[in-house]
Structure formats: C-alpha cells, structure tokens
Structure 1
Amino acid sequence: MTFVVTDNCIKCKYTDCVEVCPVDCFHEGPNFLVIDPDECIDCTLCEPECPAEAIYPEDDLPDGQEVFLELNADLSRDWPVITVRKPAPEDAEEWDGKPNKLQYLER
C-alpha cells in the first residue's frame, strides 16, 4: 500500500511531511507535492505531519479523490525529489480547505 497526496495540497504545498519520510518518496511540483508509490514503504510518518490533512492511505481515499492515486504515480516520474522542508506559499492558509482545486494544479 502507498500513501497519496490529495486535492487539498494544491496551492497549499506545506512540506512538513518531506522531512519525516525515511525513503525520500516525495516529489515537488510548482504548487503540489506527490508521493512515488514505488518508493513509499507505508511507514505512516507523513500523514500526521500534513497541516492540510491532504495525505491518505490509498485504501482510505475520500470519495472523489481516487484520481490522485494515478496522478501521484504519474507526476512522481517527472518531478524532482524533495527532502527538505521549505516555507509554504504566502497564500497557503487561504487555499487550505477549499474544495475542487484540481483545476489549479500546475504541472
């Protein structure tokens, strides 16, 4: 099983989760993070670290978030690994909790 970064990370992109990952499975895009499912070891460390509560086990994805399983896998092939926490975008708090953010995903 893998963990999946979902909709609420878009435009929030808090990076608290990347520092606790023991296998460096997070990849960074312009306004979103993803988890490489081939690298994730299901350690559960990242999930509680996400201030936006955007990380879920693949078996517990909320309804409507299933598309993010494939999206994480696809984008992790193209985006670089991130291992160090960075400041969140200045408007992250404004975007946290807003629904249906997939349209704002920058690839």
Structure 2
Amino acid sequence: MTHVVTEACIRCKYTDCVDVCPVDCFREGPNFLTIDPDECIDCAVCIPECPVSAIFAEEDLPKDQVHMTELNAELAKLPNWKSITKRKDPLPDHEEWKDRTGKLSELAR
C-alpha cells in the first residue's frame, strides 16, 4: 500500500507534508504534489500535516478519489516532476481553491 494525494491538492499545493516525509517521496508539479508509490514507506506522518486533508492511505481513499492512485504513480515518473523536500509557500490563489471539489480538470502536468 501507499499514500495518495487527492484532487484537494490541485491549485493549492500546500507543502507542509514534504517537511515531515522521512523518505522524500513527494514530487512537485506546476499546481499539485504527488507521492511516488515506489518511495513511500506508508509511515502516514504526512496525513495530519495537510491543511486541506488531501492525503490518504490508499485503502482509505474516498471512492470518488480512487483514480488518484494511478495518477499519482504516473505523475511521479514524469521527468519534469522533481523531488520536493522543503516547504514552500502555497500557490498565490490557494485560498480561492482550497474548499473546491472536482478540480481534476485544473491539474497542470
């Protein structure tokens, strides 16, 4: 099993989670973070750090977010999605997006 970043992260990209990750499994895209399932050790320390509750253990994913497991794995392998290990400021308009749902169409690769 692995942990998965869900659509709640899209257009927010809070990075509190990367500070606590002991294996540096987060990858950063233009407006989303993903977890590399090959690196994640399922420690779960990232889950409570996310201000928008975007991270779940794979077995606890809401049914409408199951598709994010495969998407996290795919994005983590893209060459332009680099490892992120230090916290950064969220995206400038994160406040406008943090409570929205159904943001998959907003994902920038």
RMSD: 0.6
1:95 aligned partner, one-letter code: W
**Cα deviations by residue, 1:38-90 (Å, 9 ceiling, x for unpaired):** 10000010000000100000001012101100000000011100001000112
- Sequence identity percentage: 62
Could you tell me how far apart the structure 2 residues matched to 1:88 and 1:56 are? Answer: 20
Cross-structure match for 1:104: 106
Deviation (angstroms), 1:31: 0.1
Q: Distance in 1 between matches of 2:91 and 2:106?
A: 14
Tell me the equivalent position of 2:68.
Answer: 68
Question: Matches of residues 1-107 of structure 1 in structure 2 within 5 Å?
Answer: 1-78=1-78, 79-107=81-109
TM-score (norm 2): 0.96
List, as ranges, runs of 4+ consecutive aligned residues in structure 1 with deviation greater than 2 Å.
Answer: none
**Residue 47 of structure 1 aligns to which amino acid in structure 2?**
I
Q: Would you say how many aligned residue pairs link Structure 1 and Structure 2?
A: 107
Superposition TM-score, scaled by structure 1 size: 0.98
Q: Which amino acid aligns with 2:69?
A: L
**Where do 5+ consecutive residues of structure 2 fail to align?**
none
Flag structure 1 segments of 5+ consecutive residues without an equivalent: none
